[in-house]
Amino acid sequence: MIVFDLINDEAPLFVEGLKVLFSKGTISYDNVIGVTEGSRWEEESKSIKNINRLSFFDELDKKDIDLKKELLRIANTYKNNNIYGCDRYLIQKNKEYQKKMLVYTYLFYEDLFQKNISHYFTTGIAYTYNLVSYQVSKRFNVKHISFYGTRVENNTAICFDNKNSFGEVDALFDEFHLNKVTKDMYTFIEGFVKAPKQPYYMKNAINALSIKPVFIKEFFLRFNKYYLENRHKYDMFTRSPFELTGIKLKKMILSKIINFRHDSIFEKVDYSERYFIYPIHMQPEASTLVQSPFHIDQKAAIINISRLLPLNTILCVKEHRSALGKQSIAFYKELKQHPNIKLISYRENMFELINNCVGTINLTSTVGLESLFFKKPSIVLGDVFYNNTGLTFRVNSFPELGKVVETVNQDGFKVDEYFEQYDAKLAYYIYCLNEKAYPFEFNVAKLDTKERVLKKENVKNFSNCIKEICNPI
């Protein structure tokens, strides 16, 4: 039996992909279960046999579950650190509610995965329920598959763990040998350095700094789902349209204020200085909540990093275009009080900044991968797939970071000489990434992305990916 997570906004792609597989007889209807959440995607997923997670919770309410006893059992059964703090929605609830939802989620997946389940397909791990499903899947020997964009091309790789690593890519990369590296494998990196490209996700409307017509249409759709449909009491993902609109408007207004005061907030880059780059990350996102949970307070992380730099070295903190309006003016002011921190505008060319820096320091950003292309030290404080190149400096503490900074900040340090066979390994890793990634976009099916995500060719390629993973089922 194969299970598909139909809880979040990637559900339509799962549903359409399954329809293709059903029509071809690749996977039978009776061999598939969808996990839904209240009324979310209920209508769209009628072609699949579903289990409603929140209906299961309703049944648990009738059983008078001993939460304290269950929490003790769960703590003794699973390795479950960061299980509360990773969820941007659950963390907003009171403590007792959080405990109840956590216990109910474990009980749900324990009940589900005992039913002869072979595969569980979910989104990228971004919430408590994803982490719970992963832990329970290990206990019951269920193959847990989540999807992530590769950030190199608009392709998707699959992950079998909760560390944002790409198992199939890593398995091929483990076969690295110098004689396997061909001249053609260097082509992508050489082309990127000559003409760098921004990640594909930057085109999404959600990253826009002005009101788009799609936002108005989305407001009324959300209004209908939140107020007029039968929304379940435990549904945390269907949020108030007024709350979401307020967040967007606040971000847009603040971004306008920041742009008006642009020259007094951001500083000019002096390429004659020695500097490291820290890119501000989007929040709240899985990139910090799940993959770098000890550095959620970016202001504190930036200040701590700056304290580890020599007096002749600057930390250039570059604002993210998509994050503009997320940080307060007070956030910028406090950072500017530190003499060795420079706030850099989102308008500056990141690739030029990387090309002239000592190195990059980030949590889980694409910048860390891009700095490898430019042969600049990539220091990473979180879990991200390109750590598996063996060419990054993955640090777990600030004392460890201090030692790495001291190493790479020496005159004449060259990262491609520090790591053995640097160029060949990087070229071969990118080859593995492209070879083992799948040619489809895995994304939410929202109003501005739905057309391209549910395009016939994208759905077909996605269904081929499911077929390949499940073969010979």
Give the whole-angstrom CA distance, residue 352 versus residue 354: 5
Q: Are residues 306 and 395 in the same domain?
A: yes
Beta strands in 363-430 (DSSP E): 378-380, 393-394
Which token pair is 449?
A: 């992305």
pLDDT digits (tens, 9 = 90+) for 323-380: 888 888 999 999 999 999 999 999 999 999 999 999 999 988 889 999 999 999 999 9
pLDDT of residue 79 exceeding 60, the answer is: yes
Residue ending a domain, among 239, 260, 281, is 260
pTM of the model: 0.90
Amino acid at the residue 163: K
Beta-strand runs (E) in 126-261: 143-149, 156-159
In a domain, 334, yes or no: yes
Is 276 in the same domain as 352? yes
CB atoms within 10 A of CB 269: 20
Taking 90 as the threshold, does the pLDDT of residue 150 lie above it? no
Mark whether 293 and 155 lie in a shared domain.
no
Residue 92 has pLDDT above 80, yes or no: yes
CB–CB of 238/40 below 8 Å?
yes
237, 260, 283: which is the final residue of a domain?
A: 260
Q: Which amino acid is at 263?
A: D
Q: Residue 362 has what pLDDT?
A: 92
How many domains are there within the chain?
Answer: 3
User: Which strands sit side by side in the sheet containing 119-122, from one edge to the other?
Assistant: 50-52, 32-36, 2-5, 119-122, 143-149, 156-159
Nearest to 363 by CA among 345, 384, 349, 343: 384
**Residues 282 and 377 reside in one and the same domain:** yes
pLDDT at 71: 92
**Is residue 188 in some structural domain?**
no
User: Hey, what are 447's tokens?
Assistant: 């109003």
What is the distance between the alpha carbons of residues 309 and 46, in angstroms, rounded to a whole number? 57
Same-domain check for residues 243 and 285:
no
Instruction: Evaluate whether residue 448 is within a structural domain.
Output: yes
Question: Is residue 181 domain-resident?
Answer: no
CA–CA–CA angle 418, 423, 429 (5° rounding): 110
Identify the domain containing residue 405 by its residue range: 265-434
Q: How confident is the model at residue 133 (pLDDT cuts 50, 70, 90)?
A: very high
Residue 11 within a domain: yes
For the segment 111-132, the average pLDDT, to the nearest whole number, is 91
The reply to whether 251 and 366 lie within a common domain is no
Angle at the Cα of 350 from the Cα atoms of 347 and 355, rounded to 5 degrees: 140
- β-pair partners for 342: 316
34 within a domain of the structure (yes/no)? yes
Residue 203 predicted with pLDDT over 60: no
371 and 293 within one domain = yes
- If you compute the radius of gyration of the chain from its CA atoms, what whole number of angstroms results? 23
283 in a domain, yes or no?
yes
Reported as a pLDDT band with limits 50, 70 and 90, residue 158 is very high
More confident residue, 45 or 226: 45
Average pLDDT, the chain: 89
List, in sequence order, every residue forming a beta bridge with 51; answer none if it has no partner. 35
Vertex 147, ends 435 and 7: CA angle to 5°? 160
Phi, psi of 359 (to 5 degrees): 180, 175
Question: Under 8 Å CB-to-CB from 333, ≥6 apart: which residues?
Answer: none
Which phi and psi angles does 232 have, rounded to 5°?
Answer: -75, 145
- The CATH number assigned to the domain holding 291 equals 3.40.50.2000
For the chain, how many residues are written? 473
Distance CA 355, CA 374 (A): 6
Same domain, 309 and 458: no
- Residue 471 pLDDT: 77
Same domain? For 10 and 153 the reply is yes
Q: Are 455 and 396 found together in one domain?
A: no
Q: Are 409 and 312 a contacting pair, CB within 8 Å? A: no
Q: Which residues contact 419 (CB under 8 A, 6 or more apart)?
A: 390, 391, 425
pLDDT at 283: 65
Tokens read off for 69: 């006893």
Q: How confident is the model at residue 473 (pLDDT cuts 50, 70, 90)?
A: very low
Q: Kindly state whether residues 287 and 252 are assigned to the same domain.
A: no
- Asked if residue 357 and residue 447 are part of one domain, the reply reads no
pLDDT, position 288: 61
- Give the integer Cα–Cα distance in Å for 36 and 462: 20
Q: Average pLDDT of 217-221?
A: 80
- Residue 352: inside a domain: yes
